[in-house]
Amino acid sequence: MTIPTQHDQQHAHENLAFIRQMMESASTFTAVSGWGMIAVGVVGLIAATLAWSLAVPADLRVWLPAALVAITIAAGATAVKARSQQVPLWTGAFHKMAWVMTPTLVAGALLTFALTQQGTTVLLPGMWLAMYGAGVTAGGSFSVRAMRWMGVVFLALGAVALFRPDLGLALLGAGFGGLHIAVGVDLVWRHGG
């Protein structure tokens, strides 16, 4: 009969935890749904078109419901993809991603209400794009490279929109619509859905 040493036992525990961690990281790494991202982009384009028809670029009556619908679609599509790949959704990587993205998005929501109360809604498109870009860039460090680059491009669009508010609506459409669709297509092509 063999008795493992304390070192063997500790090593076995560490190795099993490491294997589990690597498997979880790899699976959540590509778990962001490309089809969900495309759907979010379509919602973004519809919202931009509606805002354009109302002649108010940062119309909260349009963009707030659009944001809620987009978040619901993104969460639902990611859960469906995780289930289809038989991987747990709420793992370490997802946990970290949510933690680094949430503060930026909450700050964006607070600024939205503060700027709206001050009557400076002209800066909202640039601020939304920049804050979303900051959150996605940070959260993207736990996901595929395309996510980080999407965050950087959102930041750049936000910077332009802050200094050229007249382009705000066009940039909102390009970012929340076009960019989401482009990255979604990339995710579907490279990471299977």
Can you give the binding site for another protein, defined by CB under 8 A? Answer: 1-5, 8-9, 11-13, 15-16, 18-19, 22-27, 29-30, 87, 144-145, 190, 192
Closest to another protein by CB, 10 vs 116, is: 10
Tell me whether residue 12 or residue 98 sits nearer to another protein (CB atom).
Answer: 12
Tokens 């078109």 locate to: 49
Query: Which residues lie closer than 8 Å to 160 by C-beta, 6 or more apart?
Result: 126, 167, 171
Distance in Å, CB of 114 to another protein, minimum: 36
* CA-wise closest residue to 179 among 121, 123, 137: 137
Report yes or no: 123 and 164 within 8 Å, Cβ to Cβ: no
- Cβ-based nearer residue to another protein, 108 or 184: 184
Q: CB of 132: closest distance to another protein in angstroms?
A: 22
Which CB atom, from 50 or from 87, has the smaller least distance to another protein? Answer: 87
Give the nearer residue to another protein in terms of CB position, either 51 or 146: 146
The residues, any chain, with a CB within 8 Å of residue 152's CB and separated by 6 or more, are: 133, 137
Residues whose CB is less than 8 angstroms from the CB of residue 119 and which lie 6 or more positions away in sequence, other chains included: none
Minimum CB separation from another protein for residue 152, in Å? 16
Return left, alpha or beta for 55; rule: phi > 0 is left, psi -120 to 50 is alpha, else beta: left
In whole angstroms, how close is the CB of 87 to another protein at the nearest point? 7
Nearest approach in angstroms of CB 190 to another protein is: 7
Sequence letter at residue 126: G
Distances (CA, A) of 24 to 19, 94, 142, 158: 9, 10, 12, 33
| Closer residue to another protein (CB): 72 or 141 | 141
Q: How far is the CB of 170 from another protein (least distance, A)?
A: 27
